[in-house]
Structure 1
Amino acid sequence: MRNDMPKTFALLASSALLVAAASSAQAQSDRSDWPDNFTVGTASQGGTYFVYGSGWANFISEELGISGGGEVTGGPNQNLALVHTGEVALGLTTMGPAAEALAGESPLAPGVQMDNVCALFPMYETPFSITTLADSGIDSISDIPDGARIGFGPAASTSDTYFPAILETLGVDFERRNGGWSDLGGQLQDGLLDVVAFAAGIPIPAVSQLEVQTDVNIIEFTEQEQQQVLDAFPVSPFMIPASTYQTLEEDARAVSMWNFTIAGCDLPDDFVYEITKLSMENNDRLREIHRSAAFSIPENIKYNTVLPFHPGAARWYEENGYEIADDMIR
């Protein structure tokens, strides 16, 4: 019996090697249709999308061993168009622009139904907040003078799409300006703008930088103003925590819109599955990129009622006990 032991071990070892080789070959074949590289559409520098998106792209690139990175774009509307056409594989968007794009009502491509865009995972809520210089005399929305020069972010961004209409609803008369968040923050500091109307994940890097360099006011909505906006737009009530900025002494009332990462619906299922798995199982890494990622958790998939989930992403959710309705899976 003892004489047969070495042969038995040899057979077992040989079988193990064959299984490992088969598994390795299978893993390799699973990647055969994966892209060689990828790009994540973000937004302008100085905003949360750029920080979050670029950091997330680097994380995915390192973990999957595929070249990838973030790209400066005009924000959610442009990201939807770029993902739909396949010019970028992944992107970041908010639910308002996503609904418009799916319905063929994108301001960038009226009449084009962007149906090659699928949801991956929730990011965070985008609060709509207003910042002025402390010595401007503007302490509330009603204080904004007629003809005020207001920066609304990059053209066709979520902020530029919704914030002008929000302020018009609240009776504000203004001169509209566009630009990247860092640039608009600099213009505010230099007195070239009266107000910057930010729609970005908090803390907004440009606002945090402004606080270091000068005294600012972060203007909240009154209860009545908030309700007016809730009645007129696809937004939710939100409170900006006082801990977000050194300027705030107490929570500030605002409204918000949810953000999700997106992918081309034609990307390989296994590729998207691995991206979703990495993102949803490593929240600590995402929070190192930007602290707004504390909300990038699978429980928040319920806030996507617009875009179908990519089947690769849906597979991870279903394997981990999160239900998605059949009609919300591509």
Structure 2
Amino acid sequence: MIKSLVKYLLVALTVIGFMPGKESIAGQPFMLATAGTGGTYYVIGGAMADVMRKFDNTKVTPLTTNGSIENLRLVSGKRVAIGFSTPDLAYYAYNGTEMYKEGGKLDNLRYVGGGHMGAMQVVVPSNSPVKQIADLKGKKVAVGAQGSAVLTLSLDVLAVDGLEITDIKPAYLSMSEMTEALQDGVVDAAIYSAGVPTSSITNIFSRKDMRIIPYSEKKVKTYLAKRGPEKKALLKPYTLPAKTYSGQNEAVPCMAFRACLVAHKDVPDALIYSFLKTIEGHVVDLKRVHPSGAEYTLTQLEQGAAIPLHPGAAKFYAEKGVKIEIIK
């Protein structure tokens, strides 16, 4: 009886604080902003919603969006309670810089926790003349949808070899659209940034002869040495294991990024605490849906904070004996 009353009050508080307006695309009191259907955020978000329903008796509705850039605006505007993003974008949004400069600071955002690591994979047809990132110059390259983390991460991939978006012919496509364009020969390459294995890459490797362009650990470290704290919270060298995809028989050096979860500061502390406790306690269930679900352990959740911590998250980490240091 007491537990049911607490749950009722928790949902009531959430409804009061996050009731969408007429123009809202949210439609539910506890929405989790993910991304497009071809990416890992969408899959993991669905798994989290299932875990919360089964083990915490809380309804969480995953929302398909354009991705991380949009998600932070949705969270800030109380259109959703929690959203997937990346530490660098959260940093830019909170401080009102880069792509968030015009709209001003979104300083009502709070960090919930670090998420899975995803690989930044450049895919080309096997017979492509592209052998390294620099060879993409002048080529038509799918770089992700406008408003997505895939797009901003693609800029990082290009920059590893000194390229800018103006050096290529960019195609702003969603993950699923990227795969179709690459398969049909509409683009010369596609830059995928998602958890491993990436379903879109798995699909295209099963249909056509493709390969992944390598870029070395040395190049990645050289690039990161020139960047600020937000990129150091986000990126690191990574090696894609051999046989991740059909016909990919060798390991491929590349770069990995960290996902994260961000909430509005007014989301009830009890909700964020319950969310983290339930997710961390049922990693096995997340893994059953996608291998990246296995990464939502305390070791990963405590990483990547570049903006202030949500009080509900602070309580969760304190109980675990973990002190979160904000990366500066």
Q: TM-score higher than 0.5 here?
A: yes
What does residue 71 of structure 1 align with?
Answer: 63
Once the two structures are TM-superposed, the CA of residue 30 in structure 1 deviates from its matched residue by: 5.3
Match of 1:8 in 2: none
Task: Give the aligned residue type for 1:33.
Answer: L
Alignment of 1:207 onto 2:198: no
1:311 matches 2:303? no
- Render the CA deviation track for 1:230-256: whole Å, top value 9, x for unaligned: 234412212222243233323221122
Which is worse superposed, 284-293 or 106-115? 106-115
The one-letter code sitting in structure 2 at the alignment partner of 1:211 is F
Distance 1:181 1:321, change over 3 A: same
1:180 equivalent in alignment to 2:171: no
The residue aligned with 2:25 is none
| C-alpha distance in 2 between matches for 1:317 and 1:38 | 22
**SS of equivalent to 2:35:** coil
Per-residue deviation, 1:224: 4.6
- State the TM-score, normalized to the length of structure 2: 0.84
- C-alpha distance in 2 between matches for 1:25 and 1:96: 39
Alpha-carbon distance in structure 2 between the residues aligned to 1:225 and 1:96: 20
- Residue 233 (structure 2) pairs with residue 242 (structure 1): no
- Secondary structure of 2:131's match? coil
For the residues of structure 1 that align with 2:6 and 2:199, how far apart are their CA atoms?
44
Task: Determine if the alignment matches structure 1 residue 170 to structure 2 residue 164.
Answer: no
Is this contact kept in 1: 2:119–2:256, CA < 8 A? Answer: yes
| Contact 2:120–2:153 (Cα < 8 Å) also in 1 | no
1:287-314 CA distance string (max 9 Å, x none)? 1222112221111244223022221122
Query: Which stretch shows the higher mean deviation, 154-163 or 24-33?
Result: 24-33
CA–CA distance in structure 1, aligned partners of residues 2 and 172 of structure 2: 56
Distance 1:222 1:24 in 2: 54
Q: Provide closer, same or farther for how the CA distance between residues 86 and 26 of structure 1 changes in structure 2, counting only shifts above 3 A.
A: closer
Going from structure 1 to structure 2, the CA distance change for 1:24 and 1:193 (only over 3 Å counts) comes to closer
Matches within 5 A, 1:230-309: 230-233=224-227, 234=231, 235-309=235-309
The match for 2:84 is 92
**Pairing of 1:17-96 with structure 2 (within 5 A):** 25=5, 28-29=8-9, 32-35=12-15, 37-96=29-88
- Which secondary structure does the structure 1 equivalent of 2:120 belong to? strand
Farther off after superposition, 163-172 or 286-295: 163-172
| Alignment CA distance shift 1:27-1:195 (3 Å) | closer
Unaligned stretches of 5+ residues in structure 2: 16-27
Mapped to 2, the partners of 1:29 and 1:37 lie a distance apart of 13
Structure 2 CA distance for partners of 1:188 and 1:98, relative to 1, 3 Å: same
Contact 1:131 1:216 in 2 (8 A): yes
Residue in structure 1 matched with residue 93 of structure 2 by the alignment = 101
CA distance in 2, matches of 1:130, 1:74: 20
The amino acid that maps onto 1:78 is E
Deviations, residues 145-183 of structure 1 (Å, cap 9, x unaligned): x42100011113223124235425524531011111111
Structure 2 residue aligned with 1:221, among 191, 200, 215? 215
Aligned-partner Cα distance in 2 for 1:166–1:34: 39
Moved more, 302-311 or 203-212: 302-311
In structure 1, how many angstroms separate the alpha carbons of the residues matched to 2:58 and 2:76? Answer: 22
| Percent identical residues | 25
Kindly provide the amino acid, as one letter, of the partner of residue 56 in structure 1. Answer: M
The aligned amino acid for 1:205 is S
- Alignment size in residue pairs: 306
Q: Distance in 1 between matches of 2:253 and 2:196?
A: 14
Identify unmatched segments of 5+ residues in structure 1: 1-20
In the alignment, is the contact (CA less than 8 A) between 2:113 and 2:303 conserved in 1?
Answer: no
Structure 1 or 2, whichever has the larger Rg, is 1
In 1, Cα distance between equivalents of 2:318 and 2:84: 23
CA RMSD of aligned residues (A): 2.4
Q: Distance in 1 between matches of 2:264 and 2:105?
A: 14
Q: Give the partner amino acid of 1:265.
A: K
Q: Specify the alignment match of 2:145 in structure 1.
A: 154
| AA aligned opposite 1:94 | T
Q: For 1:305 and 1:26, how far apart are their aligned partners in 2? A: 30
